[in-house]
């Protein structure tokens, strides 16, 4: 199979390309704009063809789609805090970019998988979201992802195009950019820097090891029914404060680094994703949170060559803007 993977130089995309080009022996073309979050280094050990460009750029999309059998779209702006500070790129990539990709895939009769998120459902106090739960996004990130999902579904309903949507819960694992909770806390803990916990730290996330999400996407790509949505949720839920305490224990950091800071506006309290539908396709999560977190801490500890250039670059400026006053 020849796959076009959009956003394949990012965290989940690069893990997916590694799985497909490795275990599955697929031929993979990666289309990626290389924003701050995308890095060619993430794919250094993986055979692929690379096209540099945005999914909103029809010429780059046409070049990348040459001869492919299916499209998997990971390309996105993915950080909720950045969507609050600067939402512009979220609208362009999620709305315009998804539209350009859909048009090009429709013209060529290609199967199309949209990678989406549990955040489209908003927050749930008890129980778990199903694919039928109402869409109630809270942030510009999740609202624009929701818009993209609806556009994708309209291409099946209106044009009979073969689309599927995969909604994942919070991913963690190797190659995640350190703006996100787990890699941020691991690197800060290793450096003896403060560990900034938003609000009371009792927000709950449903943790999914990245290779499990990639396998779920593979199942849906192969067996998902056109026009359908499939949730792919992690096996464990954990409040943020407990995640940070576990990271302190695994890194041997000083517990006094833990620092409560101002809460995120519109902060969703809890995510929990029911995955019965994708289980019926034969998928099952393989990695429990305790084991996945140990592996993740070990990966960051063993790969300073991956994160040192990030921490010394534009990330510093982002970090100062986001946390400067609260950690000063």
Residues known to be catalytic = 118-119, 141
Q: Which is nearer to ligand NAD, 93 or 322 (CB)?
A: 93
Q: Does 237 bind ligand NAD (CB under 6 A)?
A: no
Instruction: With CB under 6 A as the rule, give the number of residues binding ligand DAU.
Output: 19
Which does residue 205 bind out of ligand DAU, ligand NAD, none, counting CB within 5 to 8 angstroms by kind?
A: ligand DAU
262 burial class (0-12, 13-18, 19+ CB within 10 angstroms)?
Answer: exposed
Nearest-approach distance from CB 120 to ligand DAU, in angstroms: 9
Side-chain half-sphere CA neighbours of 31 within 13 A: 27
Task: Record the tokens describing residue 268, joined without a space.
Answer: 């969703």
Q: Does 37 bind ligand NAD (CB under 6 A)?
A: yes
Which does residue 236 bind out of ligand NAD, ligand DAU, none, counting CB within 5 to 8 angstroms by kind?
A: none
Whole-number Å distance between alpha carbons of 9 and 25: 18
* Among positions 197, 232, 238, 293, the unique one binding ligand DAU when judged by CB under 6 A: 197
The pair phi, psi for residue 107, each rounded to 5°, is: -55, -35
Query: Which 170-189 positions form the footprint of ligand DAU (CB under 6 A)?
Result: 170, 180-181, 184
Side-chain half-sphere CA neighbours of 182 within 13 A: 31
* Among positions 36, 198, 306, 318, the unique one binding ligand DAU when judged by CB under 6 A: 198
Whole-number Å distance between alpha carbons of 150 and 147: 5
State the DSSP H helix or E strand holding residue 317, giving kind and residue range, or none if neither. Answer: helix 314-327
* Among positions 32, 56, 118, 162, the unique one binding ligand DAU when judged by CB under 6 A: 118
In sequence order, which ranges of the chain are alpha helices (DSSP H)?
Answer: 11-21, 58-65, 80-85, 88-91, 98-108, 140-159, 181-191, 210-223, 240-251, 276-279, 289-302, 304-311, 314-327
Task: Record the tokens describing residue 306, joined without a space.
Answer: 């991956």
Q: Which is nearer to ligand NAD, 97 or 196 (CB)?
A: 97
Closest alpha carbon to 106 in 30, 159, 63, 67:
159
Q: Does 240 bind ligand DAU (CB under 6 A)?
A: yes
Taking CB under 6 A as the binding criterion, the range among 117-125, 218-226, 246-254, 292-300 that sits at the site for ligand DAU is 117-125
* Among positions 3, 18, 26, 33, the unique one binding ligand NAD when judged by CB under 6 A: 33
- What residues have CB less than 8 Å from 291, skipping those under 6 apart? none
Instruction: With CB under 6 A as the rule, give the number of residues binding ligand NAD.
Output: 30
Instruction: Return the residue nearest ligand NAD (CB atom).
Output: 10
- The alpha carbon dihedral of 64, 65, 70, 72 has a sign of positive
Query: Which 52-81 positions form the footprint of ligand NAD (CB under 6 A)?
Result: 54-56, 74-78
Which does residue 111 bind out of ligand NAD, ligand DAU, none, counting CB within 5 to 8 angstroms by kind?
A: none
Radius of gyration of the chain (CA): 19
Q: Which is nearer to ligand DAU, 114 or 203 (CB)?
A: 203
Which positions touch ligand DAU (CB under 6 A)? 78-80, 117-119, 169-170, 180-181, 184, 196-198, 203, 205, 240, 264, 271
């Amino acid at each position: 199979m020849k796959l076009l993977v959009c956003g394949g130089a990012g965290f989940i995309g690069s893990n997916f390309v590694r799985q497909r080009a490795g275990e599955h022996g697929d031929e993979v073309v990666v289309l990626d704009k290389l924003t701050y979050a995308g890095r060619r280094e993430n794919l250094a050990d993986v055979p692929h063809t690379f096209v540099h460009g945005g999914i909103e750029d029809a010429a780059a999309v046409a070049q990348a789609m040459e001869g492919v059998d299916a499209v998997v779209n990971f390309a996105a702006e993915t950080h909720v805090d950045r969507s609050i500070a600067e939402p512009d790129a979220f609208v362009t990539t999620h709305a315009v970019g998804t539209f350009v990709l859909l048009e090009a895939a429709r013209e060529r009769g290609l199967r199309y998988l949209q990678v989406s998120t549990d955040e489209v459902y908003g927050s749930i106090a008890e129980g778990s979201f199903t694919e039928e739960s109402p869409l109630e996004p809270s942030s510009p990130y999740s609202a624009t992802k929701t818009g993209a999902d609806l556009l994708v579904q309209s291409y099946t309903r209106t044009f009979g195009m073969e689309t599927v949507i995969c909604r994942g819960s919070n991913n963690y694992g190797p190659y995640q950019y350190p703006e996100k909770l787990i890699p941020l806390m691991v690197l800060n803990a290793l450096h003896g820097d403060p560990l900034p916990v938003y609000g009371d730290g009792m927000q709950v996330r449903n943790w999914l090891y990245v290779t499990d999400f990639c396998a779920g996407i593979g199942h849906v790509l192969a067996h998902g029914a056109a026009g359908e949505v499939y949730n792919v949720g992690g096996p464990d839920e954990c409040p943020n404060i407990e995640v940070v305490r576990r990271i302190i224990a695994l890194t041997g950091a000083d517990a006094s680094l833990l620092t409560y800071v101002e809460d995120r506006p519109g902060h969703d309290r809890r995510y929990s994703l029911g995955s019965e539908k994708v289980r019926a396709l034969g998928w099952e999560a393989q990695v429990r949170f305790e084991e996945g977190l140990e592996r993740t801490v070990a990966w960051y500890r063993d790969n300073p060559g991956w994160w040192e250039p990030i921490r010394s670059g534009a990330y510093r400026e982002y970090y100062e803007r986001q946390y400067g006053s609260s950690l000063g």
